[in-house]
Amino acid sequence: MDHSDGGRPNRSRLRPELREMLEAAEHAGTLSNDQLGVVRARAASELSLAGHWDLKDDLAPPLSFTLGDPAIRCRLYRGGCEPGTILFLHGGGWVVGSLDTHDGAARALARAAGCGLLSVEYRKAPEQPFPAGLDDAETALRWVIAEGAGLGLSSERIILAGDSAGANIAAALALRARDHGITLGGQMLIYPATDLAHESPSVAEFASGFFLSRATLRWYIANYLSGADPTHPEASPLLAPDLTGLCPTLLVTADHDPLRNEGRAYAARLTAAGNVVTFHEWPGTTHGFMIMAGITPAARELIGVMGEWARQVWG
């Protein structure tokens, strides 16, 4: 267990910049999202996660529009002419997060992959619990296939991408797509939540003091499921009885993350089922590091790996 005397978190193996951030938050008495409640947690998320990217590039401003019924807000980034599209699903525990909190990461990924990227503002819990967000993601996927060409998006070799809760939705959508005969180019799952029914040893190991706490994780899951079966494969892809026939996968975990073990387990199960899997565990990082570009170089390192992987898929 990665805790020192008295149960205090041992952050000695973290990158220095992440360790300093966590210590500063601890000294400031920053409240966690489960302590803040839904409304204040969303407001805090917008303030704390937006604006961490300082991107000086020549990308055109993104195009904002809605699709589907009920209307789903989307943002389209044009990063180049690669023959593929990324459908991006932001993280935030299915409760917080937005197009804005992940704007910098989405823009950077579009540029790194050299493609069109559609970021999706799916409905969030607790107002719209499972499977509303997943349904919105499917609507967006089907829209790209049927109508995306009108905005210059490739309807073939679509790559799903998401972080945390967004990666959970992406993994579930990949299962749906397979079952409905939709061929995907790939999926990029960044520290995904894959098992909402069980707590792996890493949840206890990093129960507090590492950005995502066990208490907050439980709060997110309770809001998202709202009484739904946590073992449903579309809530817990790790528990799906059949993982064969899925698209190529890039799966990334953070080594100081409560979700680390279930990410490892999902990569192992996908591999055992005969799928092509590229797995990376980022050393010295916590949950959420992908959107911390203003704090740690690891965020840009990860985006670079994601962009290169996507280009190879389309190669």
Span 93-112, pLDDT tens digits:
999 999 999 999 999 999 99
282 pLDDT more than 50? yes
pLDDT at 53: 64
Q: What average pLDDT does this structure show over 261-278? A: 99
pLDDT at 194: 99
234 pLDDT more than 90? yes
At residue 44 the predicted structure's pLDDT band, cuts being 50, 70 and 90, is confident
Lowest mean pLDDT segment, chosen from 58-72, 123-137, 177-191: 58-72
Q: What average pLDDT does this structure show over 247-253? A: 99
Q: Which of 90, 102, 256, 287 is labelled catalytic?
A: 287
Query: In this predicted model, which residue has the larger pLDDT, 41 or 293?
Result: 293
The fraction of the chain above a pLDDT of 70, given in percent, is: 94
170 pLDDT more than 80? yes
At residue 51 the predicted structure's pLDDT band, cuts being 50, 70 and 90, is very low
At residue 59 the predicted structure's pLDDT band, cuts being 50, 70 and 90, is confident
Q: How far is CA 266 from the centre of its chain?
A: 15
122 pLDDT more than 70? yes
pLDDT at 1: 35
Annotated catalytic, 164?
yes
pLDDT at 43: 80
pLDDT at 50: 38
At residue 6 the predicted structure's pLDDT band, cuts being 50, 70 and 90, is very low
Annotated catalytic, 34?
no
Query: In this predicted model, which residue has the larger pLDDT, 237 or 30?
Result: 237
Annotated catalytic, 287?
yes
pLDDT at 31: 76
7 pLDDT more than 90? no
Query: In this predicted model, which residue has the larger pLDDT, 13 or 58?
Result: 13
pLDDT at 69: 94
Q: Which of 45, 164, 202, 213 is labelled catalytic?
A: 164
Position of tokens 């910049």?
A: 17
pLDDT at 56: 58
Structural domains in the chain plus CATH codes = 12-314 (3.40.50.1820)
Q: What average pLDDT does this structure show over 119-136? A: 98
pLDDT at 54: 64
Report the chain's mean pLDDT, rounded to a whole number: 93
